[in-house]
Structure 1
């Protein structure tokens, strides 16, 4: 019966563009002469290669044109929406009456065929059943359309994850701005610049646990922080965790004000590397510190 319904869409429907594809996709699931079908927005979007919002607008146009009805009192498999093609159903019913007349069973009337009552027992074979509402009978009505052109829709059932993860999106969505070290790039990753990055509570705890705050003091730590930000000013934005790791590495090898970094000198046995650094990291820190020492040959 879906073949007859699709044929009606091809030959008689006034729909165009995306609305025509949506109507054909719905007609493709019609099982009998009642011209009732079911589909979810996501499944229609996948079949028509359109966005969910485009499919929703196409359904609204088809409902306003009278070529599609949404049966709110029925629900399909996996809580999908149930639709009916009323004009196609009338054409199918009229064709059956003409066939009966050719067989001599009845006389053909010029009046349009009256819509037949829905046979719920037949619909249950296809997974279509009445929605659990106080009303026990199924009614066929068009959804109310407000002045904005949007139809009233039932709230979607709660599900984990994104229902339309495999459907093309219609545009970017606004994101709320978190409080600390969060700026969203075009890909959605949280990034920030070195100048905007702030020392978070976890990094503050690391300073105290590793003894760097006692070693450098408040003024020495501020000087190290200012030097780090000046050297990183031209770096591209990074995630906050990446800046935190880089900042810790810088502070760990920073000289304490007014005294040399003796614990980082290579070959000093029994000394421990600051900040939990390995011996190789301590040697590297000592070499970098030596490069910063004045040699007396500066111009």
Structure 2
């Protein structure tokens, strides 16, 4: 049940930050279908790497939101609080409500690449273990050996074009574009993380993700893990917005171009002069 409960947190929960980490830790300990688990504050602090105060505030927020509940009268083996994830009860991994998610190449219940060619099965033996007869009535000799080899090649499925290991069908165009741009990526992601990248592609377009990754990749750089690029691409959702005409707000410059205090002061003075306040 712990995997189903964790999948509910990844796909359904509205929690953020430390609250989300706390909920994931508790979900990871849920052993039964009723989505209950005991968890002490010390353990939550250790696993989330957050302060004790932050963990307590996160638990209070989760209880107030209804995504977490305390099982009254129940205690763990060392007196730990017993929690319940009421909305995770009955949830099954892979049952996504997001339109087009499964059509995009993600499959319920697996993190593997749906496009991988399965290993060929079967042998040259016939029913009851008998060998398939070959021309000439025997399997010996160069000619019959060549016939046997050709027959095996015809029975084996043709290999598909090489793709990045662990990449689902939905993310293959992005993987191919990154490779063409010279951006090396080590793809090793769970279903929830691949879903997050797929949402970024839907929101910003693959070209924007490739352009950002190429900008941060120097020639000869070793391939970086996909989780690194997921954090980088997440900045697209927090991109600075240009100030509207007539606004007295100086927009932040992109973090990729360092700005000195002198430049910031000069920009502020120029704006005050424009407003007639300097």
User: What TM-score do you get using the length of structure 2 for normalisation?
Assistant: 0.33
User: What TM-score do you get using the length of structure 1 for normalisation?
Assistant: 0.30
Which entry has the higher C-alpha Rg, 1 or 2? 1
